[in-house]
Structures are given as structure tokens and as C-alpha cells.
């Protein structure tokens, strides 16, 4: 039985592409790595994390250390961001059916809670964050332990390869969404349990699993 649906925040729950672009370019000016043009966006969506770091001219090793400052820049333009299309309806439907809703993200907790509060999104009860962007499996495992849940008691929704890798390490199913950062051609080899293009498909998948259909 699924008890919780866990969402990634940026690129999954929130339509954060535009403000991430702005925050990244502010960082690029400060630290002298490559500024992005809008024409670069689709190009980098099809790159691996290593390829992106090379394209930007910033070491992948430095990325976790730059993340807190990135999210500080992000906060300045966060008022321009909204939920992804139909996500508000999805949250209401899931909460109304008794599911717990959580966010696990490498964004800052204050950013996420401020975003949810300003948009009157009350359905999400848990927000768990870490600046260590490549250790989501550890955060997921801590969440499962704290809630006393088996790995069959949750399903994760995310948009990146690192989400898929984390979920496989934790042994939980993942729904990959195609409206975020990583594109289908680089995601497919990692074999997420589900691949979707519309937010309300998440509800259908959860209900299908609840009805005993195997993943």
C-alpha cells in the first residue's frame, strides 16, 4: 500500500526552468564560468551531469559547494515561479484520497516552504532538504525509517537521472516526468518505473498500483 508520494521540487513540482536560468547566469558572472543563452537550454537538457559541467566550465566537484549560493540567488526571483500545470489539482486529489505528500529536494527548505505558503499549498506535510545534491537515497532512507515505512510504501516523482539512481538505491519506484531538466533519450537507459508527460498521470499510476497492478 502506498502511504506517501514524494516529489522532487525543481523541475517536477515547480516550473522552475526560467528562474534557474536567471540564477545560474548570475552565478556565472560572479565566478567567471559560461553564461547560458536561451538557445543553450535544450542542448544542456540532453547532456549528462559531467557534460553539463564541462559545457559550463565549472568542475562537477565544485557544484555541491556552489549550491547554497545558487539557491540564494534563486530566492530573489522565486516570486516569478509557479507550480507545474495541473499540479495543484493533482495534490488536492491525492491528499483527498488520504495519501501523505512530501518533498525531498536539494533546494533549501526555506525556499520551498515560502513558495508553498505564498501559493496556499497546504497539502504537502513534509519538506526534507539537503545541499548534498547526489545523496538523495540517504535522505529517502531516513524518511522511510522515520515514518516506519517499507520501500513499497512510497513512490517518488522526479525529473532527473540522479532521482532515478537514488530511488533504485533505496529500492523504491519512481515516476519520471518529461517536463523537467533531463530529456527522455538520456533517461531511458536508466529505466525508471514510469515515464509520463502529464501531471494527472501520476494519480492514475498510484491508483493502478493500489488496485494490485504490478510495476
Question: Model confidence over 115-130: pLDDT tens digits?
Answer: 999 999 999 999 999 8
Angle at which helices 87-96 and 201-210 pack, to 10 degrees? 20
pLDDT at residue 1 in the model? 87
pLDDT at residue 70 in the model? 86
Calculate mean pLDDT across residues 60-78: 85
Calculate mean pLDDT across residues 195-202: 98
- Please report the DSSP string for 156-192 in residue order: EEESSHHHHHHHHHHT--EEEETTSSS-HHHHGGG--
For the chain, domain boundaries: 4-15+82-210, 17-80
pLDDT at residue 215 in the model? 57
Calculate mean pLDDT across residues 10-26: 91
Question: Is residue 14 over pLDDT 60?
Answer: yes
Fold entry, domain 4-15+82-210:
Rossmann fold (3.40.50)
Q: Number of helices and strands (H, E) in the chain?
A: 10, 8
pTM of the entire predicted model = 0.91
Question: Model confidence over 48-68: pLDDT tens digits?
Answer: 888 998 999 988 888 878 888
User: What does the alpha-carbon distance between residue 102 and residue 124 come to, in Å, rounded to a whole number?
Assistant: 6
Amino acid at each position: 500500500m502506498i502511504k506517501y508520494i514524494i516529489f522532487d521540487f525543481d523541475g517536477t513540482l515547480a516550473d522552475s526552468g526560467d528562474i534557474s536560468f536567471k540564477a545560474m547566469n548570475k552565478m556565472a558572472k560572479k565566478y567567471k564560468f559560461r553564461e547560458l543563452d536561451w538557445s543553450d537550454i535544450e542542448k544542456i537538457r540532453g547532456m549528462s551531469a559531467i557534460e553539463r559541467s564541462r559545457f559550463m566550465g565549472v568542475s562537477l566537484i565544485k557544484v555541491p559547494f556552489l549550491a547554497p549560493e545558487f539557491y540564494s540567488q534563486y530566492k530573489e526571483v522565486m516570486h516569478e515561479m509557479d507550480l507545474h500545470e495541473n499540479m495543484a489539482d493533482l495534490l488536492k486529489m491525492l491528499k483527498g484520497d488520504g495519501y501523505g505528500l512530501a518533498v525531498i529536494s536539494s533546494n533549501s527548505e526555506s525556499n520551498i516552504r515560502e513558495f508553498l505558503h505564498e501559493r496556499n499549498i497546504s497539502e504537502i506535510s513534509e519538506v526534507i532538504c539537503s545541499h548534498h545534491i547526489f545523496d538523495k537515497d540517504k535522505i529517502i532512507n531516513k524518511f522511510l525509517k522515520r515514518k516506519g515505512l517499507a520501500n513499497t510504501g512510497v513512490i517518488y516523482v522526479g525529473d532527473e537521472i540522479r532521482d532515478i539512481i537514488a530511488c533504485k538505491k533505496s529500492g523504491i519506484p519512481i515516476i519520471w516526468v518529461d517536463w523537467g531538466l533531463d530529456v527522455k533519450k538520456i533517461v531511458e537507459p536508466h529505466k525508471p518505473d514510469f515515464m509520463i508527460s502529464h501531471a494527472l498521470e501520476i494519480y492514475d499510476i498510484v491508483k493502478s498500483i493500489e488496485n494490485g497492478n504490478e510495476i
